[in-house]
Amino acid sequence: MSDASLQDLIKDLKSSDEGTRDRATQELWHRWFTQKGAQGLTKLQEAQDFVDVGHYLKAEQSLTALIEAQPDFAEAWNRRAVLQYTRRYYRKALADCQQVVAMVPFHFGALHGMGLCHAALGEYREAIAAFRRALEVQPHALVNQRLILECTARLS
């Protein structure tokens, strides 16, 4: 994912035009989900189908198997992080987010997730740092701005 169009998308995340930002956001999510083609996307959807019916352990097993088979599939790690966060396994979610960011440093979803995990653990300084990193990628993401304020207030 290091071609010129990717750099344009990352630049577009910072655009003053909301439509441009939204298109770039959607295109990046599309690239991340389809990184491993139709088969990878199908596996991600299967895991989400398990989540949708409350079978979290099956979803985790499915995502873990996908990660073991394709350890460079960043979105598989990210989906498992989301699942772990939802289940309140914040340390596990944080570790998965860190794996994503190691592979895709501009993955705004994983950066945001890192902030959420740190905040849930009461690690507000670390949460603020993660939300700031997410804002470097998506400076117009109001949710991260709001969460920085909330974490800052908790430090007082």
CA distances from 24 to 6, 15, 30, 70, 77 (A): 9, 10, 10, 26, 21
Please report, in tens digits, the pLDDT of each residue of the chain (156 residues total). 458 899 999 999 999 999 999 999 999 999 999 999 999 999 999 999 999 999 999 999 999 999 999 999 999 999 999 999 999 999 999 999 999 999 999 999 999 999 999 999 999 999 999 999 999 999 999 999 999 999 999 998
Torsion sign over Cα 101, 98, 109, 141: negative
Amino acid at 107: H
**pLDDT of amino acid 108:** 98
What is the C-alpha to C-alpha distance for residues 5 and 25, in angstroms, rounded to an integer?
13
pTM beyond cutoff 0.85: yes
Question: Would you say 91 and 121 are in contact if contact means Cβ atoms under 8 Å apart?
Answer: yes
CATH superfamily, with its number, for domain 4-155: Tetratricopeptide repeat domain (1.25.40.10)
Q: How far apart are CA 21 and CA 116, in angstroms?
A: 22
Question: Which residues neighbour 22 within 8 Å (Cβ) at sequence distance 6 or greater?
Answer: none
* CA 119 distance to own-chain centroid: 15
Give the type of residue at 146: R
